[in-house]
Structure 1
Amino acid sequence: MTRWVAGVDGCPGGWIAALRRLGEAGPVVVRVVPDLAALCDGPEAPAVAAVDIPIGLPERVGAGGRTAEQLVRPLLGPRRASVFPTSARAVVYAPDYTAAIALARTGGLQPFAPSPPANAIFPRIRAVDALLRRQSDLRERVYEVHPELAFASLNGGVPLAAPKRAPAGAAQRRAALRRAGLPEEVVEAAPPRGAARDDLLDALVALVVAQGLAAGRGLSYPDPPERDAHGLPVAIWTLPPTEARS
C-alpha cells in the first residue's frame, strides 16, 4: 500500500493538497478537496499531513495568542503580522461574528476581539478541531504549520522580505521551493481550479515540512508541544534551518 505525505492549505474551493509518495523524490500530485476529512479518509490518505490551520484551542488566551504564536511571531520580522492570535475555543465556536466579538469582549476569555480574517477561517478551524477530536489517530498524523515560518526555514531562518502576493514575493517563494527539491513543473504550475497561486505555494511549502516530519526532522514551537483540554497538540511545526537548506 502506497503511503503519502501532504501539505495542505485552505483555498476558495475547500483545501488544496500537495501530495508525494513517502520517501520518494517523485512527482507531486496537487488537488483541491472539499475538506480535510475527505483527504484523510481517501485513497491518498497521508501518513503525515502538514496543514496551515490552528490546531488545539485554548479555553482562555492572552493578548499574544497561544504560546506557539507568541514564539513564532518574533522570528518572522516583516511577516510577523501573518501570525494572528488564535481565539479561545468558545469564541471560535460562537454562532456568528457578532456573537464572537461580544463573547470576546464580555466573557473574560481573551483580551482581544477576533479580526475579520481570523473570523473567516473559524469554520475551517472548527472542522479540523472536530475531525481530530473524533478521530484520535489523526492527532499524530496531522500537524499545524505556518507557511511564512516554513519559508523562513527554507531561507536559512531569515524571513522572506516581500509579501507572498507580490511578484517578487512569489518569485522568492518559488526559488525556495526549488532549493528544497520540489520539481520545477509543480513549482511553476498554475493552481488547480478553486485555488489561487499563493495557495499552491503555501501547500507546497507545507509539503516540504511534511516530508521532514515524516523523516523525524521536525522542529516545534513550543518544544514539546502543549495539549489543549481535549488532548489535541498545540504547536506550530517547521524544519530546522540547517535541515531545510540541505
Structure 2
Amino acid sequence: MSSVIGVDGCPVGWIAVIWNEAVTHRLCRTFAEVLALEAAIIAVDMPIGFPAREGRQAEKDVRKRLGARQSSVFAVPTRAAVACAGYREACTANLEASHPPKKISKQIFHLFPKMREIDALMTPALQQRVHEVHPEFAFWAMNGGQPLALPKKVKGTPSPPGLALRRSLLEQAGFPIDDLPEALYRRSDVGADDLLDACACAWAARRIRDGEAIRFPAIDQHDARGLRMAISA
C-alpha cells in the first residue's frame, strides 16, 4: 500500500506524519525535504494558490461548515500581499485588492514565509501529489459532518480536552494514533497540536489517495499561476 503524508507547519519547519503499514513522523526543516519523502499523496495545512483579489471560495465554503471552529480558517491574502516583506506593505497591498478593504493580521503575516516557500516549489502538475487540506475540516469530516464542540486551543494555548477529543476522533476514524511513536521534540519546536494536526492531514491524504475525499469549492478555481485553490478532507 502506498504511503501518504500529512504535514503541518511548526516553529522550526514542518512536521510530517507518514502513514503506510506503520505510522511515524519526521521533522523537516524545509518543504523541499517533505517533497523528497516517498509518498503517493502529501496533504499540507497551508494555502496553495493565491487570489488576485482578497478571498477564495474554498475558505468561504469550509468556514460555514465549522460552526464555532470557523475562526481556525483564515481568509487567504492576495498574491501581491504575500509577496511583501513588511507588515505595513502587506496590509496596504491587501487593502487595495479587497472589497471591503481588509488588512492582514499579524498571525497570518507570520505565516507568509511558509506560504512563499510552498509557492516557490508548487506547480499545477505537482498538485496531483500535493494537496491543500485543513485539520479542522478533516476533524469535521471525522465527526460525521458536525462541528467540534471543543476548541483545540484556548487563549493561544493547546487545550487538553480539545486535544483529547481530536485524538478520539482520529482513533474512531481508523487512524492508528496509539501506534504513533512518542514525539521527542521540544515544545518550542513542535507543539502537541502541530503533531495532532499533521495526523489529521495524513488521514485526509489517505482519503484523497483512495478517492474518498470531499473538496471545496465544488468547481475548481485557479490562480494566475494555474494553481488549484481548493481544500480537501
| Matched length | 225
What SS does the corresponding residue of 1:208 show, helix, strand or coil? helix
Distance in 2 between the 1:226 and 1:215 partners?
A: 23
What SS does the corresponding residue of 1:201 show, helix, strand or coil? helix
The correspondence of residues 227-242 of structure 1 with structure 2, limited to 5 A, is 227-238=222-233
Distance in 1 between the 2:192 and 2:168 partners?
A: 15
Describe the shift of the 1:120–1:104 C-alpha distance in structure 2 as closer, same or farther (beyond 3 A): same
| Residues 50 and 79, structure 2, Cα contact 8 Å, conserved in 1 | yes
For each residue in 1:20-51, what CA deviation from the matched residue of structure 2 results, as whole angstroms up to 9, or x when unmatched?
A: 22xxxx2211011012211112xx33210110
What SS does the corresponding residue of 1:98 show, helix, strand or coil? helix
Give the superposed CA RMSD.
Answer: 1.7
Unmatched 5+ stretches in structure 2: 153-157
Partner of 2:207: 212
Q: CA deviation at 1:236?
A: 0.6
Partner of 1:242: none
Instruction: Tell me the TM-score normalised to structure 2 length.
Output: 0.91
Match of 1:166 among 159, 171, 175: 159
Partner of 1:192: 185
Q: CA deviation at 1:138?
A: 1.5
Describe the shift of the 1:159–1:3 C-alpha distance in structure 2 as closer, same or farther (beyond 3 A): same
Partner of 2:111: 121
181-190 or 113-122, which moves further after superposition?
Answer: 181-190
Q: CA deviation at 1:183?
A: 2.1
Partner of 2:59: 69
* Identical positions, percent: 41
| Residues 92 and 126, structure 1, Cα contact 8 Å, conserved in 2 | yes
Partner of 1:10: 9
Partner of 1:33: 28
| Residues 25 and 181, structure 2, Cα contact 8 Å, conserved in 1 | no
Match of 1:100 among 66, 85, 90: 90
Match of 1:91 among 81, 85, 90: 81
What SS does the corresponding residue of 2:201 show, helix, strand or coil? helix
**Aligned AA (2:71):** A
Match of 1:177 among 142, 164, 170: 170
Runs (4+) of structure 1 exceeding 4 A deviation are: none
Instruction: Tell me the TM-score normalised to structure 1 length.
Output: 0.86
